[in-house]
Chain A
Amino acid sequence: MTTMTPYRPQVEPGGDGFAQLLHAEWTKFRTVRGWLITLLVAVLVMVGIGLLSAAGTSSGCQQVGGSGPARSGAGCMPTFPLGPGGEPVTDSFYVVHQPLTGDGSITVRVTSLTGQLPPANGPQGPGPVPGDTVPGLMPWSKAGVIIKENLNQGSPYAALMVTGSHGVRMQWNYTGDTPGLAGTVKAGDPRWLRLTRSGDMITGYDSADGTHWTQVGSVTLSGLASTVQAGMFGASPDFTNVTQNFGGGTSQNGGGPTQATAVFDHVTLSGGSPVGQWAGRYVGADNGSGIGSFHQNGGRFTVTGSGDIAPIAEGHGGPADSAQTIHDYLLGTFAALIALVVVAAMFMTAEYRRNLIRVTLAASPRRGRVLAAKAIVIGAVSFVAGLVGAAAAVAIGTAVTHHRGYWEFPVSGSAEARVIIGTAALAAVTAVLALAIGAMVRRSAAAVAIVIVTIVLPYFMAVAAVVPLGVADWLLRITPAAGFAVQGAYPQYAQVTAIYSAMSGYYPLSFLAGLAVLCAWTAAALAGATYLLRRRDA
């Protein structure tokens, strides 16, 4: 009787840890030459399209005219005033002012706000003709009190104002905006406004009766000079009538300067310096066709002004239309995504086509871990490709734009970094989504088509204005294409009327919200893929 010893393989058992699995998947990926070439193509296409957009500009320069800011010398560089935060701003308005030294305050009562608009939808001449206008206000026509460091464009300020249809607002340093009393100024329903300076702090109060005051806001303008200008101002942004066309582009018909007229009384200026004479001036008059005047009758001031004190929305400020943006440089992202989607889907479906999946699952029977390893490899590879492509596209685009003397819409360094890293994340998550869909449908063509239809097609339909603006916004909110929100570099301003659409680089969702929508879709697809991979025969 002999004892049977069970067979024991002489080979040391190989590790089946997650690290080995990752290494195996990485080896599978890197040894397919076609996939590496496609990755390279993705990066090159991204850079190439960005370069095309930077180098393709040639006629943007000449078409700007009219009320835009002046240009410096020979180049195409418009000289925009920059706000304290470095953002380009509009700072053109009429002000009745006098100096205020040290702490003090200015109080007024506004009894009316009226205005003039260009005739709606009529044929427009080169400029407004007197008598050719109709009464009316823009929603952001504004008049009120202001404390401003000096009368140079772009200098720090804080202002408290009545507006066309947004009630009383306190605004400061162009981007700041906070609401006060609601409702419009009417006869018998005036608004009292008060700005108080104490050191660097400026506080605004409003009141309907001059007795009961409410604080609207308090802001710190750090480093404010000891002598500032205080006074009453009027401004009204240009009227634009923009239609978005089906099948591409917006067209602007009609439009032109508007003006707002406000009547002030009970004007009180108190402070360290003796009260002097009021003087009227159009701030930014050298740079445009500013309309403004004031008329004093005893204690009653009638101030008329055009223009605006506000940040400029990208693509909506005359010369800003022709400015290069970081969004333009990254336009090739969608093409790179198509290439990455093909590679990522095939990374999964090729296993089925070649029956390699049986070997893979025999070597690593825990199927969920196989999918996780594949997702990590393809996600990491796509992140790197997206990062390299985006960084190169932005760097090259910026260099070409500067070299050719064109103007680039300023973007802060942190926003630039955020957009580049966000684009890399977009590439990584999209690739994982394609992998998961590939694991579910097992056919590369179907997987690629599904991912392109859900990510690239909605983006295309929104950017090329195939669908109306409302539909485009919803597409970019609920489909995986919401992930493109990572490329929104410029803030949307509630106090600036503009078409904030994907065409001009504004997305309906924020950076994180957009990425979260895409991640949610991807997580759902991964969950479905894990379930099906476990349940079905390979």
Chain B
Amino acid sequence: MSSVLAARVPARRAPVRVTLHPTLHAEWTKLRTLASTWWLLLAAVALTIAVGATVGAAFQCHPSACAPAQTGADPAKISFSGVYLGQVVVALAAVLAVGGEYGTGMIRLTLTAVPRRLMVLAAKAAVVAGWALAVGVLAVLGSALVGRLILPGRGLSAVNGYVVPSLTNGPDMRAAFGSVLYLVLIALLALGVTMAVRDSGVAIGVVLGLLYLFPIVATVIPDHVLARHLDQIAPMTVGLYIQATTGLRSLPLTPWQGLGVLALWACGALILGAAVLRFRDA
């Protein structure tokens, strides 16, 4: 009897070195088992597609003045305009993934189980990025499909000189793929900010403030040089250059450069978050 028990309990356990794989698995379990994760995914996808469809359906041009030069309309931008709302849900999910741990004190348990803090951050970032990628793919595919169905009927047709949105031509491909990446970068930006401020309410305020502040300020600055510089650093504005398929020359940066600037913002936020996580008590 006693020998059976003794056999079950190892006399001396070899120290377990926690590697990335189990950490990832733990983070994935934490994210997966929250009901809110999947409600937010559904909300992000549905809202993105719905806003894109509404903006597309609301587009109007006079039959005699529907040429691209007269409307200034970009079919890809209209199709993917739902990202303006979808990104809020993505940011909220990323904020909750970190903020929830700080709110409940779970973070202490997490860091006890995995003392290598930067690995926790890396695993969290990977899991949240994967989630955002799923949202992005579903939302963008849905938006592209809806745009293709709606826009030609609103005057944005090949007859009027527009490239009908389709995922087979280069610029549309770039706009779609870039919109997915945009959502992933927004999620990482929100994750980093939340790691830094450690409170989900403050974090979502900071993230959304960061996104909306620059473009609204830029609209009021009559100085074109200053406004252009603002447009080159504003995370939302530059990031969404990736959706432009017309008028690329008038953009202050190329689409990929723009997404690069947003990636720098996300990196900066993650580094700040990592520094706070590494050097402060949880």
Contact A448 B205, beta carbon cutoff 8 Å: yes
Contact A463 B216, beta carbon cutoff 8 Å: yes
Contact B201 A445, beta carbon cutoff 8 Å: yes
Q: How far is the CA of A448 from the CA of B91 in the complex (A)?
A: 12
Contact A456 B208, beta carbon cutoff 8 Å: yes
CB A35 to nearest CB in B, in angstroms, measures: 10
Interface centre among A53, A57, A58, A342 (most CB of B within 10 A): A342
User: Is A375 in contact with chain B by the CB < 8 A criterion?
Assistant: no
User: Is A72 in contact with chain B by the CB < 8 A criterion?
Assistant: no
Q: How far is the CA of A467 from the CA of B54 in the complex (A)?
A: 9
Chain B's interface size range is 35 or more
Which residues in B have their C-beta under 8 angstroms from that of A58? 222-223
8 A Cβ contacts from A11-57 to B: 49, 52-53, 56-57
Which residues in B have their C-beta under 8 angstroms from that of A449? 88-89, 91-92, 204, 208
CB B101 to nearest CB in A, in angstroms, measures: 12
Q: How far is the CA of A349 from the CA of B74 in the complex (A)?
A: 42
Contact A471 B216, beta carbon cutoff 8 Å: no
Contact A52 B200, beta carbon cutoff 8 Å: no
Q: Known contacts A444-B201, A449-B92: does B209 contact A335 (CB below 8 Å)?
A: yes
- Interface pick from A207-215, A242-250, A284-292, A380-388: A242-250
Which residues in B have their C-beta under 8 angstroms from that of A471? 54-55, 58
User: Is A159 in contact with chain B by the CB < 8 A criterion?
Assistant: no
User: Is A457 in contact with chain B by the CB < 8 A criterion?
Assistant: yes
Q: How far is the CA of A68 from the CA of B58 in the complex (A)?
A: 35
Give the number of chain A interface residues (Cβ < 8 Å). 52
- Interface pick from B78-86, B122-130, B143-151, B159-167: B78-86
Q: Mark A139-167, 1 if CB is under 8 A from B, else 0.
A: 00000000000000000000000000000
User: Is B29 in contact with chain A by the CB < 8 A criterion?
Assistant: no
Contact B208 A452, beta carbon cutoff 8 Å: yes
Which residues in A have their C-beta under 8 angstroms from that of B212? 334-335, 338, 456-457, 460
Interface centre among B73, B74, B88, B201 (most CB of A within 10 A): B201
Chain A residue with minimal CB distance to B190?
Answer: A445
Contact B225 A59, beta carbon cutoff 8 Å: yes
Q: How far is the CA of A341 from the CA of B206 in the complex (A)?
A: 11
User: Is B115 in contact with chain A by the CB < 8 A criterion?
Assistant: no
Which residues in B have their C-beta under 8 angstroms from that of A448? 201, 204-205, 208
8 A Cβ contacts from A444-464 to B: 444-449, 452-453, 456-457, 460-461, 463-464
- Interface pick from B7-15, B64-72, B180-188: B64-72
Chain A residue with minimal CB distance to B96?
Answer: A445
Contact B92 A446, beta carbon cutoff 8 Å: yes
Which residues in A have their C-beta under 8 angstroms from that of B85? 453, 457
Chain B residue with minimal CB distance to A50?
Answer: B220
Interface centre among A338, A342, A449 (most CB of B within 10 A): A449
User: Is B95 in contact with chain A by the CB < 8 A criterion?
Assistant: yes
CB B102 to nearest CB in A, in angstroms, measures: 10
CB B212 to nearest CB in A, in angstroms, measures: 5
Chain B residue with minimal CB distance to A338?
Answer: B209
CB A218 to nearest CB in B, in angstroms, measures: 40
CB A345 to nearest CB in B, in angstroms, measures: 6
User: Is A468 in contact with chain B by the CB < 8 A criterion?
Assistant: yes
Which residues in B have their C-beta under 8 angstroms from that of A52? 217, 221
Contact B221 A468, beta carbon cutoff 8 Å: no
User: Is A503 in contact with chain B by the CB < 8 A criterion?
Assistant: yes
Q: Mark B23-67, 1 if CB is under 8 A from A, else 0.
A: 000000000000000000000000000000011001110000100
8 A Cβ contacts from A335-377 to B: 335, 338-339, 341-342, 345-346, 349, 353
Contact B92 A331, beta carbon cutoff 8 Å: no
8 A Cβ contacts from B190-223 to A: 199-205, 208-209, 212-213, 215-223
User: Is B224 in contact with chain A by the CB < 8 A criterion?
Assistant: yes
Q: How far is the CA of A470 from the CA of B72 in the complex (A)?
A: 16
> Which of B88, B96, B221 sits near A56, CB closer than 8 Å?
B221
Contact B220 A445, beta carbon cutoff 8 Å: no
Chain A residue with minimal CB distance to B225?
Answer: A59
Contact A59 B224, beta carbon cutoff 8 Å: yes
Q: How far is the CA of A331 from the CA of B84 in the complex (A)?
A: 20
> Which of A57, A342, A470 sits near B58, CB closer than 8 Å?
A470
Q: How far is the CA of A243 from the CA of B60 in the complex (A)?
A: 12
Contact B225 A53, beta carbon cutoff 8 Å: no
Q: How far is the CA of A59 from the CA of B202 in the complex (A)?
A: 37
Q: A59-B224, A251-B72 are in contact. List 5 more A-B contacts (CB 8 A).
A: A253-B69, A253-B70, A445-B96, A456-B212, A471-B55
- Interface residues, chain B, CB within 8 Å of chain A? 54-55, 58-60, 65, 69-74, 77-78, 81, 84-85, 88-89, 91-92, 95-96, 99, 103, 199-205, 208-209, 212-213, 215-227, 240, 244
**Shortest beta-carbon contacts, A-B, top 8:** A444-B201, A445-B200, A342-B205, A245-B72, A56-B221, A53-B220, A471-B58, A60-B222
Subset of 10 A-B contacts with CB under 8 Å: A57-B222, A248-B218, A253-B70, A334-B216, A444-B199, A447-B201, A449-B208, A457-B88, A464-B219, A468-B60
